[in-house]
């Protein structure tokens, strides 16, 4: 194969260039890992939304932290998590209140 560095034609089985010694590989070089963006990944958004529903306090705290970030993407995500955390907290309060009433009514 042709050396990518010096252009020397090498036998296909050659692992190194006979002229300059560059390692030859028939496999393409692995692509660079994607550079993480400064914003919030969709996995993070979805994960935090689930976490906010399961543990509202987490959503509220993370929401406040992210809302203080200068990054508009983080701000938007933080606002969403905070909202979900607060709503989930209110729903849990209502549910636990209703459950208490139900238990007291039965006894
Ligand atoms: Zn070479």
**Residue-level pLDDT, tens digit, the chain, 107 residues:** 888 899 999 998 888 999 999 998 766 556 666 665 667 888 999 999 999 999 999 999 999 999 999 989 999 999 999 999 999 999 999 999 999 998 887 65
Contact 26, 11 (CB under 8 A): no
What's the 9 CA to ligand 1 centre distance in angstroms? 8
- Give the closest residue to 81 by CA, choosing from 61, 59, 58: 59
What's the 23 CA to ligand 1 centre distance in angstroms? 8
What's the 33 CA to ligand 1 centre distance in angstroms? 27
Query: C-alpha distances in angstroms, 93 versus 60, 85, 86, 98?
Result: 15, 12, 11, 8
What's the 16 CA to ligand 1 centre distance in angstroms? 8
Residue 40, pLDDT score: 85
Among all chains, which residue has been given the structure tokens 């932290």?
A: 65
Residue 39, pLDDT score: 78
Domains of the chain, residue spans: 42-106
């Amino acid at each position: 194969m042709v050396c990518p560095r010096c252009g020397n034609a090498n036998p296909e089985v050659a692992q190194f260039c006979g002229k300059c010694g560059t390692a030859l590989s028939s496999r393409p070089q692995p692509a660079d890992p994607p550079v993480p963006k400064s914003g919030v990944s969709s996995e993070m958004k979805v994960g935090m939304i689930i976490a906010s529903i399961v543990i509202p306090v987490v959503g509220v705290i993370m929401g406040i932290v992210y809302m203080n970030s200068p990054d508009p993407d983080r701000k938007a995500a933080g606002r969403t998590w905070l909202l979900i955390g607060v709503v989930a907290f209110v729903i849990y309060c209502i549910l636990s209140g209703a459950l208490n009433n139900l238990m007291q009514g039965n006894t």
